[in-house]
Amino acid sequence: MKPTPTRRAAALLAAGLLLALPAQAQFLELLKNLAPTAAGLPPKPAEAAASAPLNTLATANSKSPEAAARKAKIESELAPDRQCKRPQEKFNIAEKLIEYGGSEATLRLERLLASDFKYDNLSPEDREMLRYVAQTTVWLPVELESKLGSAFDLVSPRGDDALTPVEQDAFKEVQAQLDKFRALTTDFPAEAKLRMNPELADGAFAKFGGLIQVSRNMLQTMSERPAGADLLLAHELAHVYKRHAVKRMQFELLSSRDGWELAKKLLQRAQRGASFDPIRDGWFTITVVPQLISFARELQLNFSSEQELEADACAAHWLKAAGQNPTLAWNEFRDSMAASGGNEQGYARTHPPTADREANFIIKVTAKPAPPPRPVKPEPAPVKGKAAPKPPGKG
């Protein structure tokens, strides 16, 4: 992103403000904001944190009914949402930590803060806790995620200004269909920004901030199976609705030493709240967003199988709400996957096996009696250099 003179001036001003605060002071501020204020919590959390053993997180060890209920709640929060409910994730990490593990979880985070979040200091319980936080909270306001999407768009290959007339018509249809689905939901978190990425082998992919990239192959073949194409679009839009890209990135940031340094910056940013601050967030956009982009690009960010099943559930929901036949859409979608043949770099490689998705999808759209759910394989995630086990295709 090229800074304009105004942006550069704002950035310098923001830099001055930020540099005036030493890093330690920022951490102390962060600590202060995270300190529990609810009644019944320890009055001096920092002291308690210093002596708190690291393996006493209520969720992990306690056998009390409260702990069991809490554990069940956590598991249900992490399970795929089959109802396509409006995302309820919180911005306030401290609040979420209390829900996760009471004051002990807060103390645990304070301990991490006290050790300056050294990645190597993280215990398995710490990682479990932070991964929970990554999936149930968002650390970037929508405005910042949109900037992330725009920056991602800038560095992505783009071919939608060189389409044939037939492809142009298809592109317009895709945009119209996306708008139609988007209008079915309230509080949709972003505009759907449509692009054709000439490097995609097939299908369509949701990125950050409402950015949806479609392949040329999809534009050229969608007239053969229009209902299947609609399903694919609804599925990608659902990834945007659920803010899957940001959550996945948060998760990946917490899962690697390289990402951890960046995660700290996002966590610090999150302490400033959910509203966008033009100066400080302008500076954040210039300094941190490019690092996030290169992290995400290197990682080839893929969604988890839970997120994929959630997106399918939303697609079924929206197709029905739009008066379309979800079963017909699924059949066309499955046929187009089969028809497009194998492609190791394509859509099928980044998605769960079709049979698992079908079981999930059919349960969602079938009226009673629903068939028993097929067990879903844990992570169908692609392994580098290994072909996808199922016949790939386009989506």
Q: Which residues bind Zn ion (CB under 5 A)?
A: 308, 311
**Angle formed by the axes of helices 226-241 and 244-254, to 10°?**
50
- Whichever of 147 and 357 has its CB closer to Zn ion, that residue is 357
- Whichever of 246 and 311 has its CB closer to Zn ion, that residue is 311
H/E element, 205: strand 204-206
- Whichever of 132 and 333 has its CB closer to Zn ion, that residue is 333
Measuring CA to CA, which residue among 371, 363, 370, 302 is closest to residue 83? Answer: 363
- Whichever of 250 and 307 has its CB closer to Zn ion, that residue is 307
- Whichever of 136 and 350 has its CB closer to Zn ion, that residue is 350
For the bound state, the minimum distance from the C-beta of residue 341 to Zn ion, rounded and expressed in Å, comes to 20
- Whichever of 103 and 343 has its CB closer to Zn ion, that residue is 343
Which residue is associated with the tokens 């609810």?
38
- Whichever of 125 and 202 has its CB closer to Zn ion, that residue is 202
For the bound state, the minimum distance from the C-beta of residue 196 to Zn ion, rounded and expressed in Å, comes to 18
- Whichever of 106 and 343 has its CB closer to Zn ion, that residue is 343
- Whichever of 237 and 311 has its CB closer to Zn ion, that residue is 311
For the bound state, the minimum distance from the C-beta of residue 231 to Zn ion, rounded and expressed in Å, comes to 11
Terminal Cα distance for the chain, rounded: 32
Cβ atoms of 218 and 232 closer than 8 Å: yes
For the bound state, the minimum distance from the C-beta of residue 84 to Zn ion, rounded and expressed in Å, comes to 14
For the bound state, the minimum distance from the C-beta of residue 51 to Zn ion, rounded and expressed in Å, comes to 46
For the bound state, the minimum distance from the C-beta of residue 295 to Zn ion, rounded and expressed in Å, comes to 20
H/E element, 299: helix 289-299
Cβ atoms of 274 and 244 closer than 8 Å: no
Per the structure block, which two tokens stand in for 245? 């890209």
H/E element, 195: strand 193-196
For the bound state, the minimum distance from the C-beta of residue 347 to Zn ion, rounded and expressed in Å, comes to 8
For the bound state, the minimum distance from the C-beta of residue 236 to Zn ion, rounded and expressed in Å, comes to 7
List of residues 6+ apart from 113 with CB closer than 8 A: 27, 30, 31, 34
For the bound state, the minimum distance from the C-beta of residue 308 to Zn ion, rounded and expressed in Å, comes to 5
Cβ atoms of 213 and 195 closer than 8 Å: yes
Give the 3-state secondary structure of residue 104. Answer: helix
Q: What are phi and psi of 372, to 5 degrees?
A: -65, 140
- Give me the long-range contacts of 341-345 (CB less than 8 A, separation at least 24): 341/391, 341/392, 341/393, 342/387, 342/391, 342/392, 342/393, 343/201, 343/202, 343/392, 343/393, 343/394, 344/387, 344/388, 344/392, 345/201
Q: Which amino acid, one-letter code, is at 136?
A: T
For the bound state, the minimum distance from the C-beta of residue 114 to Zn ion, rounded and expressed in Å, comes to 39
- Whichever of 262 and 311 has its CB closer to Zn ion, that residue is 311
Q: What are phi and psi of 205, to 5 degrees?
A: -140, 135
List of residues 6+ apart from 91 with CB closer than 8 A: 137, 138, 139, 141, 270, 273, 274
